[in-house]
A and B are shown apart, each in its own frame.
Chain A
């Protein structure tokens, strides 16, 4: 096979460097992918611990554990760490590991920049977390950091937060540039665009979203910085500025960001369902076009987060219509997945369980999203727990579910070993039940009128909060088992076949297991590409 590393050249090493410095100096896409994944997992555990703090305070009415100011720090940092520290880096990690393998490339196009874009992250994360220990505490203005709460009225540590956001933005932009360059320049010469696997397609489109959106976020935090320290008044009405402008700028970043966190998951699900349905993906090209449409629409719907800011009615009508339109391509994707399963020959290994739960629960999050898009109804939903339930359904049981599904699906390829299937299934059911116990009652809380971001609540909200907290503690614990399953697989797993899932398609499965440090020194041929293509 063209895929194995042959000793045709001896001008470069064939294996990784020995010792810890390997991880600092590495330019290998597999090493960097691994670094990203472990970093994201560490951040997931930290962000999850903050969530445990939030749910512990909300277990009962009254203030038991934290002062309100610290509670606000918890919610803010939980959101920031999960979005910028866990979900986004995890997807970049998956992209690093998988894209070169899927397009038959020897590595990423810009390996040194790849190293840099990873190594920025631990420093940015450390700066962000260090704000907890500063006088006045960590940022306490929500992950959306609306001015002027985040400018005139924010703690001193906000300047560190701004710096951390800048660094995270650099990292993401470099990651996106690298992925675009890799997909367009490094894919096997015989591979056409419409031969590319959907994970590659969704990531290519996501990269353009990142390049479009992250600089806008950088602009927003820079304006904050000058408002705070250099006497400008972008967001201060007293100086001729406008606090609502902050929200326009933030959500012009923020809405594409939502799709940055879900499109790669769509790609992952489009690999897993055909494999375990033993049937080709239904509507390959419509999946590509639907992804592109969602990405386009994501740039023109931002103000649906701002229906209550005092927008003119024409603006509200436009943003309502545009938002409702997103349901169409998103629906197409769900229909295609169901059609892929239809008349297949289904089996339910762990990755498939996660993928099926994704389709079901992400769709529930989509339904509540459609409800939120109806501007008049949004008056009652806005900034309540209904919104909290909605975005946790799309981000936890959507984005995170996609990531976990991917980990179980490709772990045998990455490690050459098989995880413990019964234990992994048990973990799946545990996580599935507890995540719903956590987030489903939050719909009721929101509809009954409980605002989000409050440390204490009136007694009519007590029961559902109690249930939600119990679910959250259980969901949190399930991640310890996940850690065990993954570590146990790496250390003691039974050797896995090169193609551990019998009907899996994709160039990555043509490589030997355990995977070599360098792959695709020779690009795959047209015949190999066609044999592994999703598009026919």
Chain B
């Protein structure tokens, strides 16, 4: 009774919250590529075939349950064999399956066979973020779960609601992937550590990222907009926190974005040759730390005993800088490699770790990172 009450309460609560209801989706969405539309079409076709078979089979079953019941005085027949019907209900399903296999094969071949791509993006899964490289444009950056989502994972429902309205709780990143519309993009997908899976539902694109191997996939988005997905292969404790956000923009906007990213890179390279003050390094280092290190070593540097070492009183952070540089750049055991970060980011985060949390290690400059590489 209590349970019934709870259930009714739950459903009433659901039905009354209209704002939430608006987000209800029961079905797959069509997406913004020809492939994703084809997949949606196949999905609907198979769904309706199943509904059709279900109506016939369950119809017969329920008719029998209602009409042939003992309580209504039904007398049992004794037939129990018929080669003809066995033949029919083996043959007819085979024909239905062939009819489904033809369009499915066609779509599958469209997905797998790509003659020529207009551009290439390399996607690398790294526990627990995505690294994007545009080899032709010389752009590369990592894409992490947005700080705003991270802050409210253990927050109140209202806080999550607020974050959700600005992009999406757990569905927003610090740096989005940007691609031009109406362009065939080849994605080269791989991983640095465990198997991840790069999934953008609106592109009809989901592909495993295998360490040591490169898979390719492609998409040609037709509609400008922002599309969200997330990692779709269990990759450890951060698996639920690896969103993917793609901005599909006009070709002109894309060109502008490429230019600004390249200018940023030039400025970044220039800053790496300069000598930074400790305060600047620590300030930048805190941001880098919270985005890349706090997942394991914790925001307050306490780590997790027995699993992730603490920063507070760490022998590494208080010891020689060369050892820590090697550790951060190349990784060791459970600690991943962070060589994808820029020289100034690595210098900043190491300095932050060595000069905060009550530690008293030396300051590390970007030039030290350059020579350590």
Contact = CB atoms under 8 A, between A and B. Distances in A.
A454 to B, nearest CB: 3
A310 B112 contact: no
A282 B39 contact: no
A131 B129 CA distance: 29
Contact of A376 (B7, B10, B38, B94): B38
Interface stretch (B85-93, B174-182, B250-258, B263-271): B85-93
Contacts of A310: 207-208, 210, 213, 215
Given A327-B97, A371-B47, A377-B39, A345 B81 contact: no
A527 to B, nearest CB: 20
Contact of A62 (B28, B109, B157): B157
A452 B60 CA distance: 35
Interface string A42-73: 00000000000000000011110001110010
A280 B78 CA distance: 7
A467 B85 CA distance: 42
Given A343-B76, A371-B43, A458 B171 contact: yes
B89 A153 contact: no
Contact of A341 (B64, B97, B204): B64
A283 B199 contact: no
Interface stretch (A88-96, A213-221, A359-367): A359-367
Interface stretch (B228-236, B349-357, B361-369): B228-236
A379 B205 contact: yes
A449 B229 contact: yes
Contact of B25 (A332, A371, A375, A448): A448
Nearest to B66: A346
A383 B232 contact: yes
Interface in B54-106: 54, 57-58, 60-61, 64-65, 68-71, 74-82, 85-86, 89-90, 93-94, 97, 100-101, 104-105
B240 interface: yes
B154 A63 contact: yes
Contacts of B71: 347
Nearest to B60: A338
B64 A346 contact: yes
B312 interface: no
A344 B81 contact: no
B20 A347 contact: no
B208 A463 contact: no
A140 B240 contact: no
B93 A455 contact: no
Given A341-B61, A343-B77, A363-B57, A380 B39 contact: yes
B104 A149 contact: no
Contacts of A360: 58, 61
A328 interface: yes
A53 to B, nearest CB: 16
22 contacts: A148-B194, A153-B194, A237-B211, A237-B213, A244-B213, A308-B207, A309-B210, A310-B208, A310-B210, A321-B101, A324-B100, A344-B68, A345-B74, A346-B68, A371-B46, A375-B104, A376-B104, A380-B201, A382-B206, A449-B201, A457-B240, A477-B3
- Top 3 nearest A-B pairs (CB, nearest first) are A237-B212, A454-B240, A310-B215
Interface of B: 3, 6-7, 10-11, 14, 20-21, 23-28, 36, 38-39, 42-43, 46-47, 50, 53-54, 57-58, 60-61, 64-65, 68-71, 74-82, 85-86, 89-90, 93-94, 97, 100-101, 104-105, 107-109, 111-113, 152-155, 157, 160-161, 164, 168-171, 193-195, 197, 199, 201, 204-208, 210-213, 215, 229-241, 306-307, 334
